[in-house]
Structure 1
Amino acid sequence: MNGWGYALMIFAMIAFWVLIVLAVIAVIRLLARTPQPPHPHADTPEQLLPQWLARGEIDDDE
């Protein structure tokens, strides 16, 4: 093997180990992720109107 063969082999080995390390990091992050709680249900208009009135965003006429 000449110099280019050794250089290609070194480059391929570095690329291989970088891919292995990135795969391990991805698996660790995937397993360590905490599940997200479900999104709360949106309030109905009947629930929103008293809240807006109590905060003063709307008045009785509206």
Structure 2
Amino acid sequence: MKYLNYFLIVIGAFVAMYAKSGANQNQYILIIGIVFLMLGVYRISRRIPSKQDNDDITEEDTLN
């Protein structure tokens, strides 16, 4: 499943660069590429734990 995220990022970046490179750039293809890119980045960042959450737990434990 994590390879799907990387695949979305690569495909999104490729499509966005392809849509941007032409003289008659197609805005809809550019938008689709950016959506794929952002979807992949979002899915990866969702799995990374927040550092702030870990710090809050340790501060509460030390206060009690």
TM-score band, normalised by the shorter chain? 0.3 to 0.5
Structure that is richer in helix per residue: 2
TM-score, with normalisation over the residues of structure 2?
Answer: 0.39
The TM-score with structure 1 as length reference comes to: 0.40
Higher relative contact order (CA 8 A, sep 6+): 2
**Structure of greater Rg:** 1
